[in-house]
Amino acid sequence: SYVLTQPPSVSVAPGKTARITCGGNNIGSKSVHWYQQKPGQAPVLVIYYDSDRPSGIPERFSGSNSGNTATLTISRVEAGDEADYYCQVWDSSSDHFYVFGTGTKVTVL
Amino acid sequence: EVQLVESGGGLVQPGGSLRLSCAASGFTFSSYWMSWVRQAPGKGLEWVANIKQDGSEKYYVDSVKGRFTISRDNAKNSLYLQMNSLRAEDTAVYYCARGGGDGYNFFDYWGQGTLVTVSS
C-alpha cells in the first residue's frame, strides 16, 4: 500500500518559516491535501490540490508538490499554528484509498 | 454554516456492536460523498469508509470489511456507521467528514468526533 512519510516534529520560532515535508513514491503525480489538528479538536483542511487554500485559511499557509516530496509551508509562524499536521492523498491501488501521512507536530518555540 | 455532529459512541465489549450517527446541516447533504475517518488514541488519522451521494457505492478499508456498514438517509440529512464484531483495535475517535469521492478526494468539513472504546 502507498505510504506517506512525515517528520515526527518540527520546531520553529515565532515569525519564522516552518516547512513540513510529506514523502511518497512519485507523490508529484498525485494531488496532496493538508490538515491541521489542534489538541482535542477535529482536523481542519488548510491546503487542497497541492496549493489551494480554503476560504478562511491565512495566506501564510502554502503548499507545493514535486517529485517524491510535497511540502506545507507556514510563513510568519504564530503561536496559534502549534498543532499536528497531516498530509493526505488518494491512491486507488491502496487498500486505504485515502492515505494519510504519519503526522508532524509543529512546536512554536 | 456547515455542521456535522456525531453521536452514538461509547464503551462496548469485544465482539459487540455500535451504531454511529452523523447529523449534517448547512449544505445540500444529498450532493456530497460522505466519509468516516478514525483516530486511535495518540495515533494518526485513518480513513474507514465512504459512500456516494445516492448510497449506490460504498468503500471500506480492508480491516473493517465485513464488519462495518456505512449508510445514509438523505431525507434526514444523516450518515451512519454500523459497527459489528468490534475489536480492541477499533478503539478510536470516529469523525464524520464531507468528501472522499468523484475527484473530490479530500475532506473539507469534519465533525467533532465520537469516541468508541472497545474493552472488557
Indicate which of B37, B65, B105, B115 best probes the interface with A, i.e. most A CBs within 10 Å of its own CB.
B105
Decide: residue A5, CB within 10 A, 0-12 exposed, 13-18 middle, 19+ buried: middle
Above 90 in pLDDT, residue A92?
no
A101: which chain B residues are within 8 Å (Cβ-Cβ)? 44
| pLDDT band with cut points at 50, 70 and 90 for residue B13 | very high
d(CA A48, CA B99): 12
Q: Do A96 and B47 lie within an 8 Å CB cutoff?
A: yes
> Sheet containing A69-74: which strands, arranged edge to edge?
A18-23, A69-74, A61-66
Please check the confidence at residue B103 and state whether its pLDDT lies above 90.
no
Q: Is the predicted pLDDT of residue A1 greater than 90, yes or no?
A: no
CA A101 to CA B39: how far, in whole Å?
Answer: 13
pLDDT > 70: percent of chain B? 100
B42 close contact with A: CB closer than 8 A: no
pLDDT for B101 beyond 90? no
Residue A94 has pLDDT above 80, yes or no: no
pLDDT of A5 > 80? The answer is: yes
Give CA B40 to chain center in angstroms: 14
The per-residue pLDDT for B100 is: 84
Contact A19, A11 (CB under 8 A): no
**Neighbour-count burial of B15, counting CB atoms closer than 10 A to its CB (0-12 exposed, 13-18 middle, 19+ buried):** exposed
pLDDT digits (tens, 9 = 90+) for A38-55: 999 999 999 999 999 999
Residue B109 parent element (H or E): strand B104-110
Question: Do A97 and B47 lie within an 8 Å CB cutoff?
Answer: yes
Report CB contact under 8 Å: B44, A103.
yes
For residue B65, the model assigns a pLDDT of 97
